[in-house]
Structure 1
Amino acid sequence: MSISALATDGSTHGFTMEVAADGKVTYDLVGTDTDSSTAGSDVPDVLSNASTTAADLSQESDSADADAVDAGAPEQTEVADVDSSAAAGACSDGAYSTDDHKEYGTYEWYIGDGGMPGGLSRDDARKAFWDAIDNITDSYNNCGYDDQVGARHHYRAPTSYEADINSKTQCTPRDGLSTWDAGNLGANVVAATCVWTWPMPGVKNDLREADVRFNTTDLDFTNKPTSSCRNKFDIRSVGTHEAGHVFGLGHVNSGHQNLTMYTNSFTCTTKARTLGKGDVLGLRSIY
């Protein structure tokens, strides 16, 4: 089990705990081990307790990508342009880190109930999340790299289940569904991903479930940043970063602000929707 949190101040938040077959428990408060091996075979995931009732499957009307206010977010200083200018360009920065897990099969995910970031309907949120996940599985970039990543995903359905992440940005017991939703997280956390894996000795651990939550209690989001955008995080940029964690990418720190997996998220910019050199190389090292 591990959690990765995207912070507003660039600080790194993470925790990883592993339980071996012999019962030995190991943990890391900073980050996870890097394993460059891509060998091994898939252990299919089984979602035996999925809950998709008739009410869950009903579709809400489209909201025309409405950007209603999510919360009374505090004023935040936008530092995207300053920080980015001091860092290497996205297509020349080959930095990356990887976590100790991999999706050997197909990542099957659900949309939770309740409010969505940016005031989107469930259907509009599904489209935004799908696009964000596709950015990872298709290695979407403007650097001329073709897609050599074999990662796959499939949207299943809306569900009454929620992401297994609490208001303290802690993972709670897994429910068997990989759910994307919105709710309350730590005040400085934009979004968080909780990952559960099965141990795979000698290779990367097998992904069993990965939940993603956007912090709509403290922060605001938009699906279409414009010149009038103020203090709102781009849904697809944040979603692409979180999808990177789902598929095994870790954070890169100061000096790599133009990469999707940079530990901070900037407001009113869409640049993280497009992968940089390091993001692509990191995915290739896993898949």
Structure 2
Amino acid sequence: MLRKATAVLSAVVVLATAVSGLAAGNTTTQQTGDDVTVVAEAILAPTAFEQATTAAATPPGCLDTAYALSAWRLPSTFSWSYNGAGAPASVASTALTALKAGTATVFTAAYRCGGTTPLKTTHVYAGTTTLTAQVSAQGTCTGNDGVSVTSWGSLPTTTLAYTCVYYRTSTMTVIASDMLIDNKLHGWFTTLPAGCSNKFDLQAVAVHERGHTAGLGHVDQATHSSQVMAPKMPSCSTVHRTLGAGDVRGLKVMYAA
């Protein structure tokens, strides 16, 4: 039986060990007892300068092999559920399809420059739930019920989505991973709208957050912005629906069949 963890995460700690290009920040950790550690990872909206830099990045991640790995690893099957309460009207009817697609991208290592890779872990969508992601409006992990839930809610100003990963400290194996997506401050799309302005691709954000669940860490924004695992997501772009070379390389290191 897992004890519910209520400790607030406060210290900023970089857990990921870089193979190359590790980015600091946006990561917090807490040991909760009962052989469970919880780690929180956020993806942020970019500044205007970062948006322009990312948009100008060429080639589109095909030659950039930077990646970073976190301590935990998934079991052979990752099961997750969705609570659509509070989903913005712009994506309410299409959000689940986008979330499934984003999750599948990580679990097949779908490369934007061509091809997929069989991995030793898979995901199972377990249906809808009335449970919510155990993430607070302040951007902290609030408990561990052993269930992986994706849902909507309030987050800090620049945060697009927030993932909490709970893993067994002794084995480094993931127990559960919750994702909370902002529904107060940021605009979302699942099909790129004409004249798009300051809206974010839900599917691409799901790819990034599921990357954290799988054990990928952040790479440096300034030098690796074309990679999905850069800590800030460009607006009005669908490029990050598939993985860059470094993203794929990291997944292969952890899970290549």
Pick the TM interval, shorter chain. 0.7 to 0.9
**C-alpha displacement of 1:127:** 1.1
1:93 aligns with 2:106: no
| Contact in 1 for aligned 2:37/2:169 (Cα 8 Å) | no
How far apart, CA to CA, are the structure 2 residues paired with 1:240 and 1:29?
16
| Contact in 1 for aligned 2:24/2:218 (Cα 8 Å) | no
How far apart, CA to CA, are the structure 2 residues paired with 1:187 and 1:200?
35
**C-alpha displacement of 1:199:** 2.0
Aligned residue for 2:104, secondary structure, equals: helix
Aligned twin of 2:228: 260
**C-alpha displacement of 1:142:** 2.8
1:233 aligns with 2:200: yes
* Distance change (3 Å), C-alpha of 1:27 and 1:129: closer
How far apart, CA to CA, are the structure 2 residues paired with 1:285 and 1:125?
30
| Contact in 2 for aligned 1:113/1:161 (Cα 8 Å) | no
Aligned twin of 2:81: 110
**Structure 1: where are the runs of 5+ without partners?**
5-9, 31-73
TM-score, length of structure 2 as denominator length: 0.80
Aligned twin of 1:197: 167
Give the percent of matched residue pairs that are identical in Structure 1 and Structure 2: 26
Map of 1:264-279 to 2, 5 A cutoff? 264-279=232-247
| Contact in 2 for aligned 1:177/1:209 (Cα 8 Å) | yes
Q: Deviations over 1:211-255 (max 9, x none)?
A: 001111111111111331111010001111011011111111121
- Residue among 203, 212, 215 paired with 2:179: 212
| Contact in 2 for aligned 1:88/1:255 (Cα 8 Å) | no
Q: Which amino acid aligns with 2:225?
A: Q
Aligned twin of 1:7: none
1:82 aligns with 2:53: yes
Q: Deviations over 1:66-114 (max 9, x none)?
A: xxxxxxxx9x747534334356640100000011111112111111141
Aligned twin of 2:98: 128
Aligned residue for 1:196, secondary structure, equals: strand
Aligned residue for 2:125, secondary structure, equals: strand
**C-alpha displacement of 1:133:** 0.2
* Distance change (3 Å), C-alpha of 1:102 and 1:26: closer
| Contact in 1 for aligned 2:76/2:120 (Cα 8 Å) | no
Which aligned segments of 4 or more residues in structure 1 are displaced greater than 6 angstroms? 1-4, 25-30
Map of 1:38-53 to 2, 5 A cutoff? none
Q: Which amino acid aligns with 1:140?
A: A
* Distance change (3 Å), C-alpha of 1:179 and 1:218: same
**Which is greater in Rg?**
1
Aligned twin of 1:67: none
Aligned twin of 1:280: 248
Aligned residue for 1:114, secondary structure, equals: coil
| Contact in 2 for aligned 1:193/1:245 (Cα 8 Å) | yes
TM-score, length of structure 1 as denominator length: 0.72
Q: What is the number of residues matched between the two proteins?
A: 233
* Distance change (3 Å), C-alpha of 1:118 and 1:102: farther
How far apart, CA to CA, are the structure 2 residues paired with 1:117 and 1:151?
31
1:177 aligns with 2:147: yes
Q: Which amino acid aligns with 2:248?
A: V
- Residue among 150, 161, 184 paired with 2:120: 150
